[in-house]
Structure 1
Amino acid sequence: MIAATDGIGWMIINASKYLNSSVMFVGIIILGITGIALDVILRELEKHIIFWKGNL
């Protein structure tokens, strides 16, 4: 994983090496949006799968 040469993480690290802050911030924003989207999707999925949650 550390020696990867592709992906968003590599893009951020590579941009930071060359002080390319705009690319670095875009990568961080992409990771943030992906995290928020996954959180929303998993919460909705949890509502349908674990329908008894909160009723105990």
Structure 2
Amino acid sequence: MANTYTQIYIQIVFAVRGRKCFIQEDFREEVQKYMTGIVKNKKQKLFAVLYARSCAHVD
């Protein structure tokens, strides 16, 4: 079909084994910038990077 496209939204969740609280507050911003940079370098759109103490969500 002409002039059609598809958008696929993917959510990725990173968690450590046993869901231990390894993402420390003072380190979180640095990890967020790193993950954002990876997505932007792949020329993709990033909606959100959300953190809990035991996991990170990339939308």
Short-chain TM bin: 0.3 to 0.5
More strand by share: 2
Which TM-score applies when normalising by structure 1? 0.34
Which TM-score applies when normalising by structure 2? 0.33
Q: Which structure has more RCO (C-alpha within 8 Å, separation ≥ 6)? A: 2
More helix by share: 1
* Structure (1 or 2) with the larger CA radius of gyration: 1
